[in-house]
Each structure stands twice: as C-alpha cells, then as structure tokens.
Structure 1
C-alpha cells in the first residue's frame, strides 16, 4: 500500500466539475467547511451528503479502502456501498436524525485488488447541519479501535493507580484519563504525600513524574518498592530516560508529551507483568 501523502489538502486541491456536487462555488458553506477539514485530516474519514448518498472521502480512507470504492475525493454516489456505512446501521439513521454516535471496535472488510482486508475501528458519526439547523450530511471518521483484546485477556481488570505530578492541571488530566480507562486513580503533587498514601493503602501502580519537588520520581519509586515489591511503576519525563537506565526494578516510561495510545500500552504492559519481588 502506498504511503499517505502528507501535503495539505482542501476542496481547492481537486477538480469537482465532473462530480455530482459540481462547482465548489455553489456549495453550501457547511459542505465546504466539512470537506476542507476532512480532506486535510490524517484520519480515514468520509462524508455522506444528501439523500442520494453522495460521498466525499480523504486520501487516508482511499488508501485503506482501495480503488474499488472510488477515487479521492469522491463527490458522487459510490459504485459500492462503503463498508463504514453498511456497518453503521441504526447509528447512521440516528445521525441523520441529528444525534452524534460512536460504534466501538467495529470490524470492517474492504474488498481490495490484493485480497480482502479486515480492520477494526471506532466509527465516529457526526451530523452536519446547514444554516437552518437541518441535517444535510453525516461525517464518519474511522478512529483506531479503543478495545484492546490483549488487555481483556490478562484478567487483571481495573488497577488502583497513584499519580504523582506537581503540575496540578497535568495531574488532573492523567487521573481523569485513567478513570476513563476503568481504573481507580488518586493524585498528589509531592513525594511526601505519595509516601504517606502508600503507607496507608495499597496501590497496584505508581505513575510518577521523574522531576518532582524535594525528591525525584526515581527515588520515590525506589523507596515505595522497598516497602511494597509488588508495586508496578510507570515514569513520565520531559527530559529523556537518562536517570532511568540503571534501575534495578522493572518499569515503563513515557516521554512527555505522550499520546493516549502510548499511555494505554504502558498500562497494558504493567498489568501483564508483576513487579520484581524484593
């Protein structure tokens, strides 16, 4: 499969004269804005416009689907019903009724010249309204599937995580993300507060910034593991992993700023691997 072209794209990048949508100068503003955003997005995305099922899609979607579903940027009724639309069913109907929706971990099969390809995505459907508020189209984005079978198979379930981060805003966001993943999370800003909490109750994971006031995250983790060898550790650092190279206990590290999928991957790894006993 060819690589995705990373150059900027918009409606002006294509000739629409031969499509069902015609000259862009006559397009309604919502169609133009949505198409501009879609065409310049790295996420596979398509727009269904009007009751005729006219579709517009970006290069990321075309690379995924193959030539059998039309050529970028679309603009006409597709020769074959796109798999995301076939899979969306009632969620698509609800989007036409004005309700945004998500279909998690959806299997899509694309019939390609080199054989069928099945992939899993979260389908995110967003109604596109005109100036009067009427729904004129539906945008369908194919986000990476949030379900992680390898995590489900571990049997570890929710973990109790202590977050140590002196930036209160960052601490709050991390805790909220962890809770959204189904874990329990408490946050503190100072290593002394962390040690006090660790002495009072048991945690499965210590999630600590490396740079902290009064004591480094490395020293904090070393003391915490001395008291509880089963504690698993994730470090977050904006300064690389120089301080982490000679540690005697297992850990995962994240380089700030990190992506949500990197955080999920680190959590999955510590859930599958208990810390080294003392």
Structure 2
C-alpha cells in the first residue's frame, strides 16, 4: 500500500509547506473543513481554491486520474485544466458566482498511461466561502450518474429528504448543508434552537439533524419539543460528548460521534429514507 493510501485522510496527515497553499494552520477555516470533507469522500472529487486554480484532490480522484501518490494530494496550480473542470463548462463560472450547480451526464476523459478513460458521472459543483464571506473556491464532486426514474417521485420515496441542520458553528453548518444538497437532499441550516422551532412551525421536515450542545437550549430538548409537535420527524444527533446525554429518550433517534465521517452521515440518512419509505 502506498504512503498516500495508508495515511489518515485529513489535511493534518500531510506536509503542505511546499505546496501553493502553505501550512494548513494559516488556511481559512472553511478551506480546512472543506478539504477534510473532500479527503473523506468516497467519490472522486476536487477542491479548486483561488482564481489561480490551486487544487486539492482526494484518494478516489487520484486513483481515477492515474495520479502519482505524492506526499500532498494537491496544492499546486495545474498546467492543464483537469477534465472535470473542463467538462463543467459555464457551471464552473456559476459556482464562482456563488450558485451551486449540477452537470448531469458529464463524461470527463482522463489520459492515463494505459490509454484514455471516459468516466460517466454527474458533476456537483458547490461554492466554498473564504474567511471573509466571499467565494474562495469550488468543491467539485464526481458522483455516480442519477438513474432515470421510472415515475416522478418526491421526498423520502426517492431517497431525497428535507433536512433541518441545527449547528452553531457557522462554517460547519454551511459545509454540512452544501454537502447534503450535493447528495440530492434539501437542507436548511440554523444556529439557534429558537430559529429551528420557528422553521419547524412553518414547514415540515423529514429529518432534524442537530448538535447536542447548542446555545439557549440543548439539542435534546429541541428534538423532544420538535418530535412532540411532529411525531413523524426523524432525529439524528451529532455529539462530541458521547451518548451520555441521550440515554432514556422517549423517541427513536440516531447519533453520530463528532468528528464523524461523511459516509457515516450518509448511512444514517439512508436508514432514515428506508424507514420513511416503509412508513416506519
């Protein structure tokens, strides 16, 4: 196994000092969080940072593109625009302008040592804010192509969920919401339990995804009130303190231990979607 494959997939695993990005301690917090999400994604992906097109890529993308397993997964300006970016067309500029885009049915072609490889995928482009509230980069995910539906479906019946994210860390809230949207879900984010209750009173959500520790009211008390008003609401907790605060709850829930990986959140949402489709 190569060094690239054996290291834990976080920005802290690599020495970035010689790259165009420099030391991660000096990166804007949204860049560090987005890079960690990218490096843990099971799908090939790129993070384009800055108009000079500094790149970070994950292990799945390196395997797809036939890239060498260097010490740093990116952080340099490419001499040739990578195939996913050239396939994105005007959607890439739209993402730089602050709008998330999906390019369905893309076919980037990778020039590998054994010959060209055409890779069918849907490109999900998500703008990433810098530390000043401006678009500092674009996250590009190469997701499996969406299958053609036999009949129009909405909501949990086709695996798409409406999710209310309650997280008082605004950088984490933004990135979680954008990744949920990239995987086909509807997501709204708030930082305070009172704002969550206001939204829950105005519209129905399939899932409440809440941090346990929140200002003014715990996520547990928020979920208890929300489920009391809507017993069909599914609850997923994120906690950095284990499950000690979640014992003896009178409603079903799932929990993720911080820091959680993206595939753990996806697994929890897939279980919720299956239960909802069965009417459970």
**In structure 1, how many angstroms separate the alpha carbons of the residues matched to 2:158 and 2:113?**
46
* Structure 2 equivalent of residue 174 of structure 1: 157
Deviations 1:132-158 (A, max 9, x none): 32000000000001145xx8xxxxx54
* Structure 2 equivalent of residue 58 of structure 1: 58
Return the offset for 1:5. Answer: 4.2
3-state DSSP class of the match of 1:64?
helix
The residue correspondences of 1:232-247 to structure 2 (distance < 5 A) are none
Relative to the length of structure 1, the TM-score reads 0.52
Return the offset for 1:25. Answer: 1.5
Return the offset for 1:24. Answer: 1.3
**In structure 2, how many angstroms separate the alpha carbons of the residues matched to 1:119 and 1:174?**
29
- Contact 2:16–2:72 at 8 Å: present in 1 too? no
- Contact 2:103–2:123 at 8 Å: present in 1 too? yes
In structure 1, list runs of 5 or more residues that go unmatched.
Answer: 152-156, 162-171, 178-256, 264-278
Structure with bigger gyration radius: 1
- Contact 2:129–2:137 at 8 Å: present in 1 too? yes
* Structure 2 equivalent of residue 82 of structure 1: 82
Further displaced range: 88-97 or 139-148:
139-148
Return the offset for 1:10. Answer: 0.4
Runs of 4+ in 1 over 2 A off after TM superposition: 4-8, 67-72, 172-177, 257-260
Q: Superposition RMSD on alpha carbons, in Å?
A: 3.4
- Contact 1:96–1:135 at 8 Å: present in 2 too? yes
Return the offset for 1:130. Answer: 2.0
Deviations 1:177-207 (A, max 9, x none): 6xxxxxxxxxxxxxxxxxxxxxxxxxxxxxx
The residue correspondences of 1:1-278 to structure 2 (distance < 5 A) are 5=5, 8-67=8-67, 72-147=72-147, 158=151, 173-174=156-157
Deviations 1:211-236 (A, max 9, x none): xxxxxxxxxxxxxxxxxxxxxxxxxx
**In structure 2, how many angstroms separate the alpha carbons of the residues matched to 1:27 and 1:9?**
17
Q: Which structure has more RCO (C-alpha within 8 Å, separation ≥ 6)?
A: 2
Aligned length, in residue pairs: 165
**In structure 2, how many angstroms separate the alpha carbons of the residues matched to 1:25 and 1:258?**
32
Q: Evaluate the alpha carbon distance shift between residue 121 and residue 6 of structure 1 in structure 2; reply closer, same or farther with a 3 A threshold.
A: farther
Q: Evaluate the alpha carbon distance shift between residue 176 and residue 31 of structure 1 in structure 2; reply closer, same or farther with a 3 A threshold.
A: closer
**In structure 2, how many angstroms separate the alpha carbons of the residues matched to 1:108 and 1:76?**
21
In structure 2, list runs of 5 or more residues that go unmatched.
Answer: 161-267, 275-280
